[in-house]
Amino acid sequence: MLKVKIDKIDKINKKDKKEIRKKVIITGSVPPPVHGSSIYLSNLLNSKVKDEFEVFHHDISDHRDIKNLSKLDITNIKLALKSISGMRKFVKEKKPDIVYIPVASNFLPYLRDGLMILTASAFSNAKIVIHLHEGSFFNEVFYKNSIPPVKWFIRHSLSKVNTAIVFSEKLKENFEGKVKNITAFMNGMDLIPADPLKKIHKESEDKFIISFCSNHYESKGIIDILKSAPAILKEFPKTEFHFAGDWPDDERSTKLKADNILSESGIQNNVKFHGVISGKAKEIFFDNTDILLLPTYYPHEGCPLVIIEAFAKGIPVISSNETGAIPEMIEDGVTGMLIDNKNPEQIADAVIKLIKDKDLRQKISIACTDSFQKRFTAEININNIITTFNKALN
């Protein structure tokens, strides 16, 4: 009899808990276009956050081409005004406990984000949590180079924020002195880790696939990779370089540079551009990749998802030793190799070293999948998000 009563009480408590779930408004864009932040937000909306909280999506997507991001045009102005007015309507209607807003590091996008923060603060009692999907650009460039009225607006809007999320301890500098609470944790992805030993069957005389997967900005290191290719091909003529991603409209000069390098060096037969890939094509792309290159000095780089994808596949990554959270994602010589920015010679040396040393590739590949499972899974990331929301509420 007592057990029956306890069971009934448990059911009632569970029902009550479900009915009084805290409300969360998640603000942000979802694909298309495809870029790191839109992918992350889409995954967040479909995660177990919606089991812990009552989730509402404040959709501020601009589904035009990626070239329109941060561009000053009529459509973006209309979308920004709609985002701000939509936030006011949303918070008054839903009465959220938390409002989550990813923030940008350029004036126009941050003007929108800052006004959404102020709107959420003015028309609700919600705790505001912001998420910076970038590196140090917010403080080092955007804030420090802004004129005094803009600096005031940044500080004023951030003063309404309860918690800011960044990718690493070092990147907390972006919000120190501006936001009450700052927490740091890496991105995560819902991927099945591969068997790293399957990647290590090749000998140095075999054909190696060296890949790059990102939008083709010069600051992502694409020209440096092409400049490194002749030295690599001199040692290993069968090597192929595969590039996945789009050429943004404002990178026409970069494409011209790439075309000139290809024609002058005569390496066209060893280079293939795949364009934007997704789904099965992307899975095949990574399955065929032996080494991933991301020698990025892109100013807005944060915690690149492509590195996490490579880790899950057991692919050694060669990337920057001074950009975003990358130096804290990759342990040099353990889960990949870190190089200086704008240095094709170091790219070539790192690739040649990995091709020559099968044991080192095996050691790194195993460490990559281990690091993915310990630090970069979607479950770990989402648990950190849930913990952050609960701490903000408390």
Tell me the pTM. Answer: 0.86
Residue type, 85: S
- The enclosing H or E element of 181 equals strand 181-184
Helix axes 107-122, 74-94, angle to 10 degrees: 20
CA distance linking residue 286 with residue 282, whole number of Å: 6
- The enclosing H or E element of 57 equals strand 54-59
- What CA–CA distances, in Å, run from 202 to 282, 290, 352? 22, 9, 14
- Its sign, for the CA torsion 150, 151, 155, 156, is negative
The DSSP output letter for 180 is S
* pLDDT score, position 13: 52
What are the backbone dihedrals phi and psi of residue 28, each rounded to the nearest 5 degrees, phi first?
A: 150, 175
Kindly give the confidence (pLDDT) of every residue in the chain, 394 residues in length, as a single tens digit, with 9 standing for 90 and above: 444 455 554 554 554 545 689 999 999 988 887 777 888 899 899 999 999 999 999 999 876 665 556 565 687 788 889 999 999 999 999 999 999 999 999 999 999 999 999 999 999 999 999 999 999 999 999 999 999 999 999 999 999 999 999 999 999 999 999 999 999 999 999 999 988 777 667 788 889 999 999 999 999 999 999 999 999 999 999 999 999 999 988 899 999 999 999 999 999 999 999 999 989 999 999 999 999 999 999 999 999 999 999 999 999 999 999 999 999 999 999 999 999 999 999 999 999 999 999 999 999 999 999 999 999 999 999 999 999 999 999 8
Place of tokens 């290809």: 262
Q: Decide if 209 contacts 242 (C-beta within 8 A).
A: yes
* pLDDT score, position 2: 45
Domains in the chain and their CATH numbers?
18-190+377-393 (3.40.50.2000), 196-375 (3.40.50.2000)
Parallel/antiparallel/unpaired status of strands 317-320 and 336-339: parallel
Helix axes 222-235, 252-265, angle to 10 degrees: 10
CA distance linking residue 54 with residue 240, whole number of Å: 48
CA angle 16, 384, 19 (to 5 degrees): 10
Which residues, 6+ apart, have CB-to-CB distance to 19 below 8 Å? none
CA distance linking residue 211 with residue 223, whole number of Å: 13
* pLDDT score, position 61: 83
CA distance linking residue 336 with residue 292, whole number of Å: 9
CA distance linking residue 330 with residue 376, whole number of Å: 12
- The enclosing H or E element of 243 equals strand 240-244
CA distance linking residue 92 with residue 72, whole number of Å: 29
* pLDDT score, position 12: 47
* pLDDT score, position 178: 97
